A and B are shown apart, each in its own frame.
Chain A
Amino acid sequence: MRTDVVGDILRLPSQFPGIRELPHAAVYLLGCRTFDQFCSTLRALGDPRGFCPFCVTELTRRNRRPLAKATGWMLLENEYPHRNTSRMLLIVPERHVTTTSDLNPQDWTAIGYLFARAGVPSGGWMFRFGDPRMNVGTIPHLHINLVEPIPGKEYRPPFAKNTVEHKADYDRLNAHIAELGRRGGAGWLFSADGIRETEPSL
């Protein structure tokens, strides 16, 4: 499965084929601003059990500690915060769920607890759901973004992009793919060197 997903990505056409023509994995990768983020996300898509950034295996491997925990949920720092925000946090379930319809009342109690623990006085929280072609999503594992803005600075997260933006993102994706190819492709991506060189550091 690893090589299937990575292979599909490496074989993407050079010209943007339209958002509807892209596999979901490619759509998730469109949002990756840096090569490191691209590699981390591609590993997670190719091997969710081993590399999903919010699942226990990857969290343990990287010794990534939650800021707080509640029954089955974690409060994490966002590893790719936007520059126009004071803080970006994530409220994430420990189990790999991808939709809110899989949540139960106990989950909402845990989310509320972590929201309070985060202590953000004003801001917003948001999550994307469903088909990533409709929402600019980057990671299938459900995650709630909690944002504390910088007073006086505007932050405008995208919930839908147009063709011009998608094309620009696709060009950036192609650049990441080319870089991956130069470094050794799927073999390098999942190698100890590839993982060490591209995992985010907080």
Chain B
Amino acid sequence: MPMSSDDTPLLNLDNARAEEQKALMKQIQADGVCPFCAEHFAKYHPKPVLKETEYWFFTENMAPYADTKHHFIFVYKPAHISMPSDMSPGAAADLFALVDWAISEYHIPGGAFFMRFGDTRYNGSSVQHLHTHLLMGDADNENHQPVRVKLG
């Protein structure tokens, strides 16, 4: 299994949600790369990049949580990191300018933003490379189910 420099796995299939996602992750594991690193992102991420800044790709999650009306991810571009404390100066401000843009662009009246960090064996993430989520449930759908995110 491909590992990062600190011996934590680049991908964690145990935390994948959809069969399509797992199949893609197995292929990526065989290729031995990180799918979120900038040089590989376009090849492996099946959704188009909706907006790009110096520090982030903004795109849809390929396996959105069930019953979300919107589920976007922001993927860190400059390097392969797993901790927000390793971000370049300016990346955080850039991220939240992009978040504000996305909230306005997609008319998101309320939602949640979260980021997992560290070892995927402990945080519920399927990809170790730093990325964040912006999501909104579908409260207007009478039959929608709860949206609960795995953290741990």
Contacts and interface: CB of A to CB of B under 8 A. Distances in A.
Contacts of A111: 92
Contacts of B108: 130
A108 to B, nearest CB: 4
Nearest to A131: B110
Could you say which of A84, A124, A132, A137 has the most chain B C-beta atoms within 10 Å of its C-beta? A124
Contact of B85 (A116, A134, A157): A116
Interface residues of A, number: 48
B2 interface: no
* Interface of chain A: mostly helix, strand, loop or mixed: mixed
A147 interface: yes
A200 interface: no
A109 B92 CA distance: 8
Contact of B148 (A105, A120, A150, A159): A159
Interface stretch (B17-25, B35-43, B133-141): B133-141
A80 interface: no
B92 A112 contact: yes
Contacts of B135: 159
B130 to A, nearest CB: 12
Nearest to A126: B114
B139 A133 contact: yes
A122 B151 contact: no
B111 A135 contact: yes
A159 B149 contact: yes
A89 to B, nearest CB: 13
Interface string A147-177: 1011101111111111101000000000000
Interface size class of B (residues with CB under 8 A): 35 or more
B96 A103 contact: yes
A35 interface: no
B13 interface: no
A158 B139 contact: no
B106 interface: no
29 contacts: A20-B139, A84-B152, A100-B96, A101-B100, A112-B84, A115-B84, A122-B123, A123-B122, A123-B123, A123-B151, A125-B117, A126-B113, A128-B113, A129-B110, A130-B103, A130-B108, A131-B110, A134-B137, A135-B136, A149-B122, A149-B123, A151-B121, A153-B152, A156-B148, A156-B150, A157-B148, A160-B137, A162-B143, A162-B144
Given A100-B99, A112-B84, 18 more contacts: A100-B113, A109-B89, A112-B85, A121-B118, A123-B122, A126-B112, A126-B151, A128-B112, A129-B111, A129-B113, A154-B124, A154-B152, A159-B111, A159-B135, A160-B138, A160-B146, A161-B137, A165-B146
Instruction: Kindly list the 7 A-B residue pairs having the minimum CB-CB distance in the complex, ordered from nearest.
Output: A160-B137, A149-B152, A122-B118, A134-B110, A130-B110, A126-B114, A131-B110
Interface of A: 19-20, 84-85, 100-101, 103-105, 108-109, 111-112, 115-116, 120-135, 137, 147, 149-151, 153-163, 165
